[in-house]
């Protein structure tokens, strides 16, 4: 298959990255801290800004802004995923299958990820809302403020959200917003 990626220099992108077979590997502080460390390591050599993020047990949604003149988010994701896999406890890794042995891949991540180029401020905010509401959508918490692995509380601190936003209501998103 031929996948076409959006290539916008210095662009802003929404991503969905999923674990292999949707295995729930982000369920404790150890795995979350390993993921954070992997992000930090990549950001040192390949800078980018994380505008919004949520880490759920089996997938990640985030928005990044790349530096001017740079459109290489694929390399960043490859390094983040491989760093996490190498640094993770053996219990996170499942045995390899025949199709992955030749490439020495572990069953930690889906091979691909989904990206969407953010078009404007309205598109950006709709995706930020989607990211922050996602733990509620999946029934993990009743309020976005209750999910610890999210940028939601940073947005509250910056007065971009009320701390009760998304609590006690169902928010429906238009088609084209987010990707599970």
End-to-end Cα spacing for the chain: 20
Host H or E run for residue 87? helix 73-87
Of the residues 73, 130, 133, 149, only one is catalytic, namely 149
Q: Which of 100, 99, 108 is nearest to 58 (CA)?
A: 108
SS3 label, residue 81: helix
Three-class HEC string of 114-156: EEEECCCHHHHHHHHHHHHHHHHHCCCCCCHHHCCCECHHHHH
Residue 149 designated active-site? yes
What is the Cα–Cα distance from 5 to 3, expressed in whole angstroms?
A: 6
136/144 Cα distance (integer angstroms)? 6
Active site members: 149
């Amino acid at each position: 298959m031929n996948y076409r990626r959006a290539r916008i220099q210095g662009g802003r992108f929404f991503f969905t990255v999923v674990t292999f077979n949707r295995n729930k590997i982000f369920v404790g502080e150890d795995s979350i801290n390993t993921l954070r460390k992997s992000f930090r390591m990549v950001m040192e050599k390949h800078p980018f800004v994380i505008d919004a993020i949520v880490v759920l047990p089996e997938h990640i949604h985030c928005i990044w802004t790349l530096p001017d003149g740079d459109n290489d988010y694929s390399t960043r994701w490859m390094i983040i995923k491989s760093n996490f896999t190498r640094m993770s406890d053996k219990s996170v890794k499942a045995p390899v299958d025949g199709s992955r042995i030749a490439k020495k891949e572990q069953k930690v991540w889906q091979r691909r990820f989904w990206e969407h180029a953010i078009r404007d401020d309205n598109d950006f905010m709709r995706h930020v809302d989607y990211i922050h509401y996602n733990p509620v959508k999946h029934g993990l918490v009743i309020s976005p403020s209750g999910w610890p692995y999210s940028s939601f509380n940073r947005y509250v601190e910056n007065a971009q959200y009320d701390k009760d936003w998304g609590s006690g209501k169902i928010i429906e998103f238009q088609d084209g917003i987010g990707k599970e």
